């Protein structure tokens, strides 16, 4: 089976999920004025929110037996446990311990998601699969990619 | 000019804007348990948020002179003043006086937006233009339409 | 609470789900030639498939206590049970008993989904909520709406 | 066949196409200043352009024999001939005779498309199918609907 | 002409097409139980289907005379002949000879499309244009990229 | 603050904007026939137009103090001044001096936008931020990427 896979083929598989969260961009080490200048209305006291769209990409050689890079049912379960449970319907400044000493910008959130998934995936894969990219859309117009560099 | 408009033509013109806001679904007249049962994780204490997409539709006869139903530059300015200024980058439960005695569900928000725009548009249009519909998407999967009934 | 709802407000609430299915357009009462002429490549023997996008719209008065028209958690469960379980990852011609005597066009599928949901919703709602519209997208370019008429 | 269609079922079938065109909003019966005030940068001398998205909706009873409201292959051919050939890769002010005495706003264009398709469809359908709606998106944010009223 | 192209400029040009197909994920060399465990409901006997979205990217130096990397009319014709004719409105397991010894996962399909287009493009281009990437979306949430490695 | 950023983190931040423009693909150094053969209906005399979607990507290390790669308010102002003012609601062949000796294909336009933004960004950034990619969609189906190579 899967004659096309007799030669090793490196693919990039992406899975997209959504979570809805509130956040406030405010650095307590800076003055009110500095925060206002840097973050504008994103520094409003009670926060605002977004429908975050998260695209996770794994890279590796397609498995000849299954034709899969990675079981998407398993990836879905991991993303549910690590990402949705942690961020969905939360206020990022108040409800996420990992962000306590951070301003929860899209950049910082993308980096945190990478760290969480990198650790989790390393612990479970025995084949050569790697986390390739975390892409996080804050809105349809703004997105941040992090590749672990 | 505009020969096609010699006969009156009733059209529906839609304009879409976006605002990003936080909210919490929680009714203080109910117990913690009741809130949890009704609103689930939408009742989480510090709130969560959305990229709200709002589609406003006006209805009326196209003006023969301009070929417009309504000047979209003017509509854009009204939406900026009445909607974006009021809701964008806000926490709906804390920052919007009109929602103080409400649970800010998508239904309630759509009704409030109708009331605000209906009053504003009535005050400025001397031709026969009416607000036809407010459609508010909370996410790509959930939307509420209100037509003033 | 919900002062905006002291006056009854009729809203339309939409929820969108997706299911992936195969189908073949072929009427066994017609000849091979007639089928080919009517259905073109949609009549190919083993079928083809689509990511169907289904938008269900309910209509009624917003409930003053909750600010909801209908509990979307409950609607989601109904759609999972009645629609996803029945159609998702199925071949509509072989696996759906209700379609045995039908050519599974988008029109027919939209009508069937209406009949299924209309019956189910009638049995559970004691407030005045009605199924307003079933909209089914076969592709991003083709869609059918059915309103029960 | 098509047991679900023993009862007459009225559906609305939509088909979406795209065309790319240039236009300039300018009324020669008005002064340069008036044009500038009404149309802003849309009055720039050489015009600008859009990827127009057009959604045509037909309404009628589903045919029991085919399960179709209307053969989409035929509708596609009509839209190709009447719409794409006429508007695609054209400058609406210079290349479309039907728009010679018009300012080619989205409103006017939607009305013209209705008139063209209404006449064409009337000439070919012997069953009771009617043109229900023309919806024209100028951008993702602006759209006009015309229902023949 | 094309002064901006006096310096060689390497660009990546993408073209997106859609095809609608059915497939079943099932490896006959494995037991029914193993298939069920690996592929879940994707192993259902008669298959299911998708609206596949395919984005082909070519890379190379823009031609100074035309301002094009590659004639998109020609690329469109190639994609029509090699991809649409082969996969559209087909059941991948039954109708595509190249997939006879494969489980038609998105990974395998992306690899096959690369092999087909790579061979075809090599045979026709005398300038330095290369196939850069095949990106295949099975749904809006799942995608596979293959770059020929 | 921003403990996650103690280690340098290289991110890619993208911002998307839209502009609406007309263009004609025609090389005056070639004959009418050659133009017609190369550009087809894109060579029509008065031009046609598009809703261009432009995605700009910057790359660099996230700043520890702000959690930002680059202030998006500032990027927005630059894009407004350099891109929207220059291209929006223009006819690219007539109104953009930088394109006078070019055929305004998507490839050429992407290269020009790179050159404009590269120069502007170099003049203002003292931290190590670089323009990484210009991606320009002419339609939903066609896009060109340029990375400065």
Spatial distance between the Cα atoms of E43 and C91, rounded to a whole number of angstroms? 12
CA E108 from centroid of its chain's CA atoms? 10
Spatial distance between the Cα atoms of A109 and A92, rounded to a whole number of angstroms? 9
- Which DSSP string corresponds to C45-100? TT-EEEEEEEEEEEEEEPPTTTS-SS-HHHHHHHHIIIIIHHHTTEEHHHH-GGGT
Which member of D36, D42, D98, D118 is catalytic? Answer: D42
**Domain parsing of chain A, residue ranges:** 3-146
What spatial distance separates the first Cα and last Cα of chain C, rounded to whole Å? 37
Q: Collect all residues with Cβ–Cβ distance below 8 Å to F69 and sequence separation of at least 6.
A: A107, A144, F11, F13, F58, F59, F60, F61, F62, F63, F129
- Residues C15, B141: C-beta atoms closer than 8 Å: yes
Q: Which of C121, D146, C57, C65 is nearest to B146 (CA)?
A: C57
Q: Residue A17 burial (CB < 10 Å; 0-12/13-18/19+)?
A: middle
- The reported pLDDT for the residue numbered B128 is 78
Do the Cβ atoms of A2 and A64 come closer than 8 Å?
Answer: yes
SS3 state at C5: helix
Spatial distance between the Cα atoms of A116 and A19, rounded to a whole number of angstroms? 16
| ipTM over 0.90 threshold | yes
Spatial distance between the Cα atoms of C20 and A14, rounded to a whole number of angstroms? 18
Chains F and B touch (3+ CB pairs under 8 A): no
The Cα of A30 is separated from the nearest Cα of chain B by a number of Å equal to 21
- Residues B5, D144: C-beta atoms closer than 8 Å: no
- Is A42 in the active site? yes
In this predicted structure, the answer to whether residue F13 has a pLDDT above a threshold of 90 is yes
Best probe of the E interface among C16, C17, C22, C86, by most E CBs < 10 A, is C22
Spatial distance between the Cα atoms of A22 and B89, rounded to a whole number of angstroms? 10
Question: Locate tokens 């298939």: which residue?
Answer: E35
Q: Which of A32, A142, A45 is nearest to A91 (CA)?
A: A45
Chain F residues with CB-CB distance to E145 below 8 A? none
In this predicted structure, the answer to whether residue A1 has a pLDDT above a threshold of 90 is no
Residue-wise pLDDT tens for chain E (149 aa)? 688 999 999 999 999 999 999 999 999 999 999 999 999 999 999 999 999 999 999 999 999 999 999 999 999 999 999 999 999 999 999 999 999 989 999 999 999 999 999 999 988 766 679 999 999 999 999 999 999 99
- Residues B107, C62: C-beta atoms closer than 8 Å: yes
Tens of pLDDT, residue by residue over D88-123, are 999 999 999 999 989 999 999 999 999 999 999 988
Q: Which residues of F106-117 are buried (b: 16+ CB within 10 A; e: fewer)?
A: bbbbbbbbbbbb
Spatial distance between the Cα atoms of C92 and C13, rounded to a whole number of angstroms? 28
Which of D1, D9, D66 lies nearest to residue C146, judging by beta carbons?
D9
- Per-residue DSSP letter, F31: -
Q: Which of A56, B55, A127 is nearest to E143 (CA)?
A: A56
C29 touches chain D (CB under 8 A): yes
Do the Cβ atoms of E52 and C139 come closer than 8 Å?
Answer: no
Structure tokens at C119: 């019956």
- Residues F49, D48: C-beta atoms closer than 8 Å: yes
Kindly compute the dihedral angle of the four CA atoms of residues A115, A118, A123, A129, in this order, to the nearest 10 degrees. Answer: 180
Q: What is the reported pTM?
A: 0.96
- Residues A107, F65: C-beta atoms closer than 8 Å: no
Chains F and A touch (3+ CB pairs under 8 A): yes
Spatial distance between the Cα atoms of B34 and B26, rounded to a whole number of angstroms? 9
C144 touches chain D (CB under 8 A): yes
- Is E89 in the active site? yes
Neighbours of F6 (CB within 10 A): 8
Closest residue in C to E139 (Cα–Cα): C51
- Which DSSP string corresponds to A82-141? IIIHHHTTEEHHHH-GGGTTS---HHHHHHHHHHHHHHHHHHH--SSEEEEEEEEESSSS
Tens of pLDDT, residue by residue over D16-57, are 999 999 999 999 999 999 999 999 999 999 999 999 999 999
Do the Cβ atoms of D137 and D53 come closer than 8 Å?
Answer: yes
Tell me the pLDDT band of C3, cut-offs 50, 70 and 90.
confident
Best probe of the C interface among B111, B113, B115, by most C CBs < 10 A, is B111
D53 touches chain F (CB under 8 A): no
Structure tokens at A77: 């379960």
- Residues C67, B25: C-beta atoms closer than 8 Å: yes
Tens of pLDDT, residue by residue over B62-108, are 999 999 999 999 999 999 999 999 999 999 999 999 999 899 999 99
Q: What angle do CA A133, A136, A141 make, to 5 degrees?
A: 130
| Radius of gyration for chain D, computed over Cα atoms and rounded to the nearest angstrom | 18
The Cα of C67 is separated from the nearest Cα of chain E by a number of Å equal to 31
- The reported pLDDT for the residue numbered A127 is 62
Neighbours of E119 (CB within 10 A): 11
Tens of pLDDT, residue by residue over A16-64, are 999 999 999 999 999 999 999 999 999 999 999 999 999 999 999 999 9
Structure tokens at D34: 């008036």
- Residues A44, B89: C-beta atoms closer than 8 Å: yes
Do the Cβ atoms of C130 and C58 come closer than 8 Å?
Answer: yes
- Which DSSP string corresponds to E31-66? -HHHHHHHHGGGG-TT-EEEEEEEEEEEEEEPPTTT
C76: left (phi over 0), alpha (psi -120 to 50) or beta: alpha
Tell me the pLDDT band of F123, cut-offs 50, 70 and 90.
confident
**Beta bridge mates, B131:** B58
Spatial distance between the Cα atoms of F96 and E85, rounded to a whole number of angstroms? 42
- The reported pLDDT for the residue numbered C2 is 80
The Cα of C2 is separated from the nearest Cα of chain D by a number of Å equal to 31
F147 touches chain E (CB under 8 A): yes
The Cα of D106 is separated from the nearest Cα of chain B by a number of Å equal to 8
Is 3.40.50.720 the CATH number for E3-146?
A: no
Closest residue in E to C25 (Cα–Cα): E89
Chain D residues with CB-CB distance to B80 below 8 A? none
Tens of pLDDT, residue by residue over F59-98, are 999 999 999 999 999 999 999 999 999 999 999 999 999 9
- Residues E107, A17: C-beta atoms closer than 8 Å: no
Q: Which residues of F53-67 are buried (b: 16+ CB within 10 A; e: fewer)?
A: bbbbbbbbbbbeebb
Q: Collect all residues with Cβ–Cβ distance below 8 Å to D44 and sequence separation of at least 6.
A: D24, F89, F90, F91, F95
Do the Cβ atoms of F69 and F58 come closer than 8 Å?
Answer: yes
Chain D residues with CB-CB distance to C27 below 8 A? 1-2, 65-67
- The reported pLDDT for the residue numbered A123 is 82
Longest distance between any two alpha carbons in chain A, whole Å? 65
Best probe of the C interface among D14, D61, D67, D83, by most C CBs < 10 A, is D67
Beta pairing, strands B142-146 & B129-137: antiparallel
Q: Collect all residues with Cβ–Cβ distance below 8 Å to B87 and sequence separation of at least 6.
A: B19, B21, B52, B96
SS3 state at B29: coil
Beta pairing, strands E48-61 & E10-23: antiparallel
Do the Cβ atoms of C5 and C62 come closer than 8 Å?
Answer: yes
Structure tokens at A21: 């969260």
**Beta bridge mates, B17:** B54
Which of B1, B62, B73 lies nearest to residue D29, judging by beta carbons?
B1
Q: What angle do CA F131, F133, F134 make, to 5 degrees?
A: 110
Q: Collect all residues with Cβ–Cβ distance below 8 Å to E134 and sequence separation of at least 6.
A: E54, E55, E56, E57, E110, E113, E114, E117, E145, E146, E147
Q: Residue C98 burial (CB < 10 Å; 0-12/13-18/19+)?
A: middle
Question: Locate tokens 């320009």: which residue?
Answer: F136
Do the Cβ atoms of E149 and A10 come closer than 8 Å?
Answer: yes
């Amino acid at each position: 089976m899967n004659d096309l896979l007799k030669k090793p083929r490196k693919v990039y598989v992406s899975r997209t999920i959504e979570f809805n969260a509130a956040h406030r961009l405010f650095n307590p080490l800076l003055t009110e004025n500095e925060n206002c200048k840097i973050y504008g209305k994103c520094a409003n006291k009670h926060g605002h929110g977004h429908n975050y769209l998260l695209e996770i990409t794994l890279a590796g050689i397609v498995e000849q037996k299954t034709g899969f890079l990675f079981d998407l049912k398993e990836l879905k379960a991991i993303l549910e446990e690590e990402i949705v449970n942690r961020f969905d319907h939360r206020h990022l400044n108040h409800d996420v311990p990992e962000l306590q000493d951070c301003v929860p910008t899209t950049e910082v959130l993308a980096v945190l998601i990478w760290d969480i998934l990198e650790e989790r995936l390393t612990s479970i894969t025995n084949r050569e699969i790697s986390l390739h990219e975390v892409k996080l859309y804050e809105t349809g117009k703004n997105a941040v990619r992090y590749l672990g560099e």
